[in-house]
Amino acid sequence: MADAARTSRDGIRRLVMIVDDEHINRRVLGKIIEKDYDVIYAEDGREALDLIRKREKTLSMILLDLIMPKMDGYEVLALLHDDPNLSRIPVIVLTSERTAEVRSLQLGAADFIPKPYDMPEVILARVRRSIELAEDNSIISATENDSLTGLYTKEFFFQHGNRYDQYYPDTPMDAAVININRFRLINELHGRLFGDTVIITVAEQLNRILDGTDGIACRSDADSFYLYISHRDNYDELLSSIAAAVNDIAGSSRIHLRMGIYVNADKCVDIETRFDRAAFACNSLRNSYNTGFTLYDNSMHEKEIYSEKLIGDMDTGVEKRQFKIYYQPKYNITGPEPVLTSAEALIRWDHPQYGLVGPGNFVPLFEENGLVQKLDRYVWREAAAQIKSWKDKYGITIPISVNVSRIDIYDPELEQELLDIVHENGIEPCEYLLEITESAYTDNSEQIIETVKKLREDGFRVEMDDFGSGYSSLNMLATLPIDALKLDMVFIRKIGVDDKGLRMVQLMIDIAKFLRIPVIAEGVETKEQYDLLKKVGCEIIQGFYFSKPVPADEFEKLIEAALGQN
């Protein structure tokens, strides 16, 4: 076994087949290699193929004579070459004819051993080296190709793309990213086996598209593919053909694809960045439920740079207090005159480069990148300090509502953190209002409800924000622990348009009254909306009709007006 360890790197004896119709040749060669390898024999090509198919998983090497009866070595080589399961086995040709080398190499031979066999150490070295190279290639192939689709893995895809650019620097190339919409849902509804079939179908179509063209493809993630292909203008046809093949196997289920293309990708930019840009374009279609594609352009590039700048500047913005809190008043309209009752804290960013930036530009961005919690806590502390400031200055409490995001809800430290904030600022939890969107309740209702129950037991008041934008059932609404409903502003915009919009608002207000929950209407802008809402029994109103969101010093004018100090 000492010699065996020398022959193989892992100490395992490999199995070698010797195929030769001459008995003496088989025995001579067998004697040379049997001390290092396990050996089996075949007298002709047909017998060899039968044994190869039986031992294909354990056979490490074939030593093959070319001139044999029944089936010669060339035929065996050709059959092995064309069979994907057998072509991995290295073949060393046994020949005394130099002219046979070219044809044998074309058919996949790994090396040659000349007859007669008079140099045993050379023969062993050739066998050992050929086996090692074949095993190394097998390992590389396993890491180079995705096991499900056979396409390149992302790492090797980028390597091959860079190599292609080196050989063909002047060929215009497009970087494309294809994604299967809602693939996780496809797996949940139809099972992982069906999901794998969808993935394989997309890969097969990409191989079909690449056949005879300049380009490569990879599976980059579970449901995404990269395509690096010579420039073309028919991406609508390309994507439609892939989608048609996928939906052929989907039956009644409709599967939609989206695609982003960085056309004539700039080769001065590294290849990973080129595909980041294509992915950026692809993700811009994320909320679309149709198959379609879009091209990456300068405006997307500028938006990408803008987004990355905001993300990079977030920490500095918090540290230097560039984020400013604006306050929008809420008025109770149940009496003869509106009465200032509370405010909502809204954030703006006084960015040193971009000026005053609205929350729509950075809040969704921070939610996607996991930064929103830090921003939320900044707002919470600022709002709590403002409640205390106005309480000391005017002798009254103006409750302020702050947003609690879905990410915050899942934080096990949320309850304690909020309690610490109110205690540090010397205010009561009941003076601090928490707004949680309706969609958060429907995400994981049991956990959300449990968390909200604890917060209410601590004395916090909780408002369901954007009510009507999600899918809460009436039964769920009856069990939710909330202190107020905020109607989504979409409903408010419709109430003056037709009777249906007003009746819908009336219905929601009636349900809230039955549950003894006050209703807040936000986004109220006109006298007509105000009058209609008052008529149907809405209790609290927020919107431009009274005031836009304003800084704290301007809000104080509203407080002073409410106190009759003007």
Which sign, positive or negative, has the C-alpha torsion 28, 29, 32, 38? negative
The CATH number that applies at residue 315 is 3.20.20.450
| Domain annotation covers residue 203 | yes
**Residue where a domain stops, chosen among 240, 268, 296:** 296
Residues 372 and 493 in one domain: yes
| Domain annotation covers residue 149 | no
Residues 324 and 236 in one domain: no
Q: What share of the chain in percent tops pLDDT 90?
A: 48
Residues 423 and 536 in one domain: yes
| Domain annotation covers residue 471 | yes
- Quick check: 4 pLDDT over 50? no
**Residue where a domain stops, chosen among 296, 328, 353:** 296
| Domain annotation covers residue 216 | yes
The CATH number that applies at residue 70 is 3.40.50.2300
pLDDT at 396: 95
| Domain annotation covers residue 304 | no
Phi-psi region of 251 (alpha: psi -120 to 50; beta: other; left: phi over 0): left
Residues 168 and 122 in one domain: no
Residues 114 and 162 in one domain: no
pLDDT at 67: 86
The number of distinct structural domains making up the chain is: 3
End-to-end CA distance of the chain: 102
pTM of the model: 0.60
Q: Per residue, what are the HEC states of 390-454?
A: HHHHHCCCCCEEEECCHHHHCCCCHHHHHHHHHHHCCCCHHHEEEEEEHHHHHHCHHHHHHHHHH
Work out the burial of residue 60: count CB atoms within 10 Å of its CB; fewer than 13 is exposed, 13-18 middle, 19 or more buried.
Answer: buried
Listed residue (72, 83, 10, 78) closest to 42, CA to CA: 72
pLDDT at 188: 75
* 3-state SS, residue 344: strand
Q: What angle do CA 386, 374, 432 make, to 5 degrees?
A: 35
Tens digits of per-residue pLDDT, 455-478? 999 999 999 887 765 545 455 666
* 3-state SS, residue 273: helix
Provide the residue range defining the domain that includes 364. 310-562
Residues 123 and 160 in one domain: no
The CATH number that applies at residue 237 is 3.30.70.270
* 3-state SS, residue 41: strand
Tokens of 287: 């909320």
**Residue where a domain stops, chosen among 144, 177, 209:** 144
Of residues 9 and 101, the one with the higher pLDDT is: 101
pLDDT at 340: 96
pLDDT at 3: 42
Query: From the CA atom positions of the chain, what is the Rg in Å?
Result: 36
State mean pLDDT over 332-354: 95
Residues 121 and 210 in one domain: no
